Amino acid sequence: MGMMDKWVESLDYQFHISDSCVRSKSPWSTCNQCVKCCHVEAITLGNHLPIIDAEKCVECGNCMAVCPIQAVEGIFPKRTIVRNQLVAGEAFVPTVNELLVFHAKGITSILFHSKVLQETWKHHVQETNRILVQLGKSPLLTQIGISPIEKNESVSRRDLFSLWGKEGKSLIKQVTPAQWRFNHANLDVARYYPDYQFFDIVVEQEKCTLCRACEALCPKKCYTIGDDSFEVSAHSCSDCKLCVDVCPEKAITIRPHVSKAVSKKHEMYSNTCVVCKDSFQTLSKLDNKCPICTKRKAGYLKSKA
Ligand code: SF4
Ligand code: SF4
């Protein structure tokens, strides 16, 4: 098998949701971003996990772009890029995440065929530009005109394979410039904006019992609990909300917030419990009851004696 055949074959893997999906990590996960974004209802939840119905899927790629963990793999959606310009298609509107990634990869404008923009397009471009301004970047420009490309230069994966037999290597080269090929791993927005964070993580010190559930499960490693401090770093947070879902004390809040990336360090204290006399760690200096005794009914130790 030649190099070109191997490359083409590598494009034809079946799309699926990998076990990095946060729903595979915990039965408490409530993430359903892929389900919500799919406009043809091709993704449903079965047995707690998302399932893609290949018959309904139109390969728009939006689920890949919204999945906070990049767990949707294998879709090869239609996007047309000509000389640093994204050509707006009729059928599919890229998500804000995807437009942010395009901008980071050098796209400066979007070419529309009509002056009347679809509401979703308008909203996504406005939202992307609002974020780009907060990041200190130049916004995406919009232009109205005729696409300079011919029909054959924008093809879906299915078209690609049917045409492969007829037109061979030259077609493959022109339709999929390597730097624009969709790859789920390339849709992690944080990777492209290393100095910024897109979400704010708030841990309520009075509620947190340092159980470490967030640290153990956060797929982006935003939490580090050491010997004397609890560090929260929101740079790579992608709002999967797994920490919120698994925190037994409901001590965590995530909210959209674009700012320079900062780490918050919460000091940890070693206190002695006034009830059981054991020492315990806490984020609240004045906390005088360990989490176990706090949860026990008052008088528990007395009644057992
Ligand atoms: S958006 Fe991603 S992480 Fe969330 S349920 Fe869908 S596949 Fe899982
Ligand atoms: S901090 Fe929470 S919401 Fe953010 S990536 Fe980690 S688990 Fe997901």
Q: Which of 162, 190, 218 is the last residue of a domain?
A: 190
How many residues does this entry show for the chain? 305
Q: Is the CB of 242 under 6 A from ligand 1?
A: no
Using CB distances shorter than 6 Å, the residues near ligand 2 are 201, 218-220, 222, 237-243, 254
Say if residue 113 is in the same domain as residue 33: yes
Does one domain contain both 262 and 277? Answer: no
Q: Is 187 in the pocket of ligand 1 (CB under 6 A)?
A: no
Fill in the DSSP letter of residue 52: E
| Closest residue CA from atom 6 of ligand 1 | 34
Residues 28 and 146 placed together within one structural domain of the fold: yes
pLDDT, position 193: 95
How much distance in Å is there from the Cα of 286 to the middle of ligand 2?
28
Q: Which residue's structure tokens are 């090869």?
A: 76
Q: 211 and 280 share a domain?
A: no
What is the CA(256)–ligand 1 centre distance, in A? 18
What is the distance in A from the centroid of ligand 1 to the CA of 284? 35
Nearest atom in ligand 2 to the alpha carbon of residue 223 is 1
> How many CB atoms within 10 Å of residue 234?
22
Both 166 and 231 in one domain: the answer is no
Q: Do 15 and 95 reside in the same domain of the chain?
A: yes
Q: Are residues 182 and 224 in the same domain?
A: no
What is the H or E stretch that residue 197 is in?
A: strand 196-203
Q: Tell me, what CATH number does 9's domain have?
A: 3.30.70.20
Are both 28 and 173 inside the same structural domain?
yes
User: Are residue 132 and residue 243 in the same domain, yes or no?
Assistant: no
Domain that holds residue 288: 270-304
- In this prediction, residue 180 carries a pLDDT of 53
| C-alpha count within 13 angstroms, C-beta hemisphere, residue 208 | 27
Give yes or no: residues 206 and 58 share one domain. no
Mean pLDDT, the chain cut into blocks of 10 residues (305 residues total)? 45 74 97 94 95 88 90 78 82 87 92 81 95 96 75 46 43 46 78 95 96 97 96 97 97 96 96 95 94 76 47
| pTM for this predicted structure | 0.82
- Cα dihedral 284/196/213/288 (nearest 10): 0
Q: For residue 11, what is the enclosing H or E element?
A: helix 3-11
Number of structural domains in the chain: 3
End position of a domain, from candidates 190, 217, 248: 190
The closest-lying atom of ligand 1 relative to the alpha carbon of residue 35 is 6
Ligand nearest to the CA of 244: 2
The answer on 7 and 112 residing in a single domain is: yes
Query: Given this model, what pLDDT does residue 83 score?
Result: 79
Asked if 229 and 292 sit in the same domain, the reply is no
- Cβ(71) – ligand 1 distance below 6 Å: yes
